[in-house]
Structure 1
Amino acid sequence: MSVQGVHALVRRTHEARVLRVLREHGALSRGQIASKVGLSRTTLSEITGDLLSRGAVVVVDTDAARRAGSGRPAELLTLDPSSGQFLGVDLGHTRVRIAVADAAHDIIAAGHATYPAESAWDERLDAAFALIDRTATRTGVSFRALQGVGVGVHGPRPAVPELAMPFAERFAAPVVVDNNTRFAALAEAMTDGPDVHDVLYIRLSDGIGGGLVVGGRLVAGAGGVAGEFGHVTAQPGGDACRCGKSGCLETVASVPAVLSGCTNAGLNIDTIEDLEAALTRGDPVAEAVVERAAAAVGRVVAAAALVLDPAQIVIGGRLPQCAPALVRRVEEILAGELCPVGGARPAIRAARLGDDDGARGAIAALFRQSPLLDGYPDPVR
């Protein structure tokens, strides 16, 4: 290969790295790009200048709103929003949610629909495709530039081929299938910016699941069950769990378990809204049951934190939304459990995203592996 050919190859490699960073992280300044790809400011300026002239990259804003101190605001660069679309689908127990993002990481369409809990998978898929069609008609999204589809489903071991094939046939695009709670973990991690790499996420809802983001990547585990906090034993010899064990965290801290605990203690409530109302008026029975759930969650999460040493712990789901004090109580328990070890303790917070976190996380997973623009055409010279 000639010297000119080597130079062209190196340049294309640099371009691919720049495009990959923008694909994963969204809008960044030139300085941020340079630090992530390891290029000098001069080389990066040449690369980004060429990409801007070709339309592969556009200027969307400056960092004036988030920079500290004085100085000239830096331009923020991102991929051309029209150069690709990404579809995230979350097939939950009783509803499907979708979100569509462009290459600049902006959500350009979203929607949701419900179905009965006992629906078969083909019925859930029919509901998903009908929702996608309605959303496309309503928003004008054509999917002509679709680069990938992420599908999140409940359960520790998704039936990947059976679920991926219908989407691959429908859209002729790569399809990623994983647990929807793991996708939610990735979405929550990204709300703190591109540099948060280690997050432990637990969701307390009708069931209990979770996810681990390590080094900025989701961890599924050898058997696809990483993050299944709901089936960690929280009370030895406790109530029977649907998994066949007894005393699992899900039998203490899931929404059905908390509602059942309140009923067994003499408080007449049927729904999560009833529980929220009871907590608002300071009902001692409701508070005691939530405290019991928080203590169990705190013990399980503390044990996981001692092993994994995450930078951040995020608690999401319907239960902490209705009972914010639960997150504060878990934080207190972790403060006591982790102090003897020394070092910095993980930050603990409630989830920021709503019920669309699974669909957004599916899109985030696509951003981290899609080959979008790696082969962007050279300009005609």
Structure 2
Amino acid sequence: MSTTIGVHALVRRTHEERVLAALRAHGALSRGDLAKRVGLSRTTLSEITAKLLQRGAIIVADTDAADRTGSGRPADRLALDPASGQFLGVDFGHRRVQVAVADASHEVIASGVERYVDDTSWEARLAIAFELIERLSLETGVHYGALQAIGIGVPGPYTGKRAGIPAVSWKKQLAPDGVDAAFAERFGAPVFVDNNTRLAALAEAITRRDAVDNLIYLRLSDGVGGGLVVSGRLVSGAQGFAGELGHVVADPAGASCRCGKRGCLETIASVPAILAACRLQGVPLESLDELAQAVSKGDPTVDAVLREAGTMIGRVLGAAAMALNPGEVVLGGEIVRIAPVLVEQATATLRYELYPIPSAQPIIVRAAQLHDTDGALGAIAAIFHQSPLLAGYPEQAIPDEAAQKRRSTQ
């Protein structure tokens, strides 16, 4: 793609965003009113609105006949299409993909999840994700002709943040190379890719009124991953490993981990590891639903397993907190809501590990505010580029002209 084409595409996207922002703020407007509000010539505005109408980003809502004072033909008034998905967030986990779609006002208008087995190839994962996205369209009426950008979270370390930069992955785990290109090819929109748990950390950091400047995020799911916000910046590290607390060794004599080491926190505190530990102790649990039932009944064996996992979590987080001195530590994942004792035990252990740091302003340890779509929502938050936490992150990749033309025909 030539520099000239790239610049033209960027300018066009900027004009589109200005038009969409004006319609979002003021509701339906005529082209004349739009031109005055966004500062574009009638000719340029006509071109931009024609493309937005063609893609389905906006609709002709009505005319200004009721408000018109003089003679002449009533002018069409344009408005945002409420069924238009403007931003797409996708979170690929080890065993499931989650999707969230936001409209031009940044409200989530559709979401869904589809599961797969751990060793599913990336080709198959992509097919499952695309099928889920299309099914959401059929079920909700949301369409994707107006997509402005796509954010994608992938598991494991990820060094690239735009299309064309290769990923790094754990041993025996297929690397998600080509995921960005596949989405850009299918939807013709800019694509942003990063580690899915790091994106979840971003989502958590901006759920408060003000973004958290220093935060450690740990998600307990099919695997265990983390994300770091340090001095007001979401960080990835030199090779994309920043925040990979799930692969800190918690028990050197423990079970083998997918990364090739033994006793990583993931082998102790992931959902499969906790369920396996319960079975080993004579409580045959196979799912989170069964774990929830055991917790609600106060099963002492299950409680002991969870407390042991919480202790290990607290030790690892304590070491990280000694190095980073965060204001908040956040534990995410569905199991945290099912078993709040994990947060309770991790908090007690972490505070013990932090002694003798002064406790006049103790670290806040809390369960995640967002649910298991947090990675997908974090991906959407990333592509909005409205948070100072993303300072220094690369701009979204702009798809080539062929992809743009394909999108215009959708």
TM-score when normalising by structure 1: 0.72
Structure 2: which 5+ residue stretches go unaligned? Answer: 1-13, 26-33, 41-78, 159-166, 168-174, 386-394, 399-410
CA distance in 1, matches of 2:151, 2:136: 17
Instruction: Tell me the secondary structure at the aligned position of residue 342 of structure 2.
Output: helix
Deviations 1:311-363, CA, capped at 9 Å, x for gaps? 21110113322211110121122222224122522211101222211111110
Deviations 1:176-216, CA, capped at 9 Å, x for gaps? 11121111111122211343232211011221111112344
Q: Check conservation: 1:81, 1:104, Cα contact below 8 A.
A: no
Partner of 1:365: 382
CA distance in 2, matches of 1:277, 1:253: 19
Q: Check conservation: 1:151, 1:176, Cα contact below 8 A.
A: yes
Structure 1 residue 292: Cα displacement:
0.8
Partner of 2:296: 280
Partner of 2:354: 338
Partner of 2:48: none
Partner of 1:301: 317
Which amino acid is the alignment partner of residue 197 of structure 1? Answer: D
Deviations 1:288-314, CA, capped at 9 Å, x for gaps? 111111111001001101111112111
Instruction: Tell me the secondary structure at the aligned position of residue 178 of structure 2.
Output: helix
Matches within 5 A, 1:159-238: 159=175, 161-238=177-254
Relative distance call for 1:139 and 1:262 in structure 2 (3 A) is closer
Q: Check conservation: 2:86, 2:104, Cα contact below 8 A.
A: yes
Which amino acid is the alignment partner of residue 365 of structure 2? Answer: I
Matches within 5 A, 1:1-381: 53-54=37-38, 85-157=86-158, 158=167, 159=175, 161-342=177-358, 344-368=361-385
Structure 1 residue 94: Cα displacement:
3.0
Structure 1 residue 91: Cα displacement:
2.0
Moved more, 309-318 or 155-164: 155-164
Structure 1 residue 123: Cα displacement:
1.6
Q: Check conservation: 2:230, 2:324, Cα contact below 8 A.
A: no
Partner of 2:54: none
Structure 1 residue 267: Cα displacement:
2.8
Relative distance call for 1:204 and 1:84 in structure 2 (3 A) is closer
Instruction: Tell me the secondary structure at the aligned position of residue 221 of structure 1.
Output: coil
Partner of 1:7: none
Structure 1 residue 268: Cα displacement:
3.2
Structure 1 residue 164: Cα displacement:
0.6
CA distance in 1, matches of 2:90, 2:145: 18
Which amino acid is the alignment partner of residue 300 of structure 2? Answer: P
Relative distance call for 1:175 and 1:264 in structure 2 (3 A) is same
CA distance in 2, matches of 1:109, 1:52: 33
CA distance in 2, matches of 1:51, 1:365: 29
CA distance in 1, matches of 2:140, 2:36: 28
CA distance in 2, matches of 1:129, 1:313: 34
Which amino acid is the alignment partner of residue 245 of structure 2? Answer: F
Deviations 1:139-190, CA, capped at 9 Å, x for gaps? 3433333221111122224446511111111222211111211111111222
Instruction: Tell me the secondary structure at the aligned position of residue 341 of structure 1.
Output: coil
Structure 1 residue 241: Cα displacement:
2.3
Q: Check conservation: 1:207, 1:230, Cα contact below 8 A.
A: yes
Structure 1: which 5+ residue stretches go unaligned? Answer: 1-15, 28-49, 57-79, 373-381
Q: Check conservation: 2:248, 2:265, Cα contact below 8 A.
A: yes
Instruction: Tell me the secondary structure at the aligned position of residue 112 of structure 1.
Output: strand
Moved more, 184-193 or 259-268: 259-268
Q: Check conservation: 1:255, 1:318, Cα contact below 8 A.
A: no
Relative distance call for 1:145 and 1:273 in structure 2 (3 A) is closer
CA distance in 1, matches of 2:339, 2:140: 36
Q: Check conservation: 2:192, 2:397, Cα contact below 8 A.
A: no
Instruction: Tell me the secondary structure at the aligned position of residue 218 of structure 1.
Output: strand
Moved more, 164-173 or 189-198: 189-198
Deviations 1:32-61, CA, capped at 9 Å, x for gaps? xxxxxxxxxxxxxxxxxx9993499xxxxx
CA distance in 2, matches of 1:171, 1:304: 40
Which amino acid is the alignment partner of residue 150 of structure 2? Answer: V
Structure 1 residue 266: Cα displacement:
2.8
Q: Check conservation: 2:89, 2:377, Cα contact below 8 A.
A: yes
Alignment root-mean-square deviation, CA: 3.2
Q: Check conservation: 2:85, 2:101, Cα contact below 8 A.
A: no
Residue-pair matches, total: 308
TM-score when normalising by structure 2: 0.67
Instruction: Tell me the secondary structure at the aligned position of residue 346 of structure 2.
Output: helix
Structure 1 residue 271: Cα displacement:
2.8
Relative distance call for 1:231 and 1:52 in structure 2 (3 A) is farther
Structure 1 residue 243: Cα displacement:
2.0
CA distance in 1, matches of 2:39, 2:88: 23
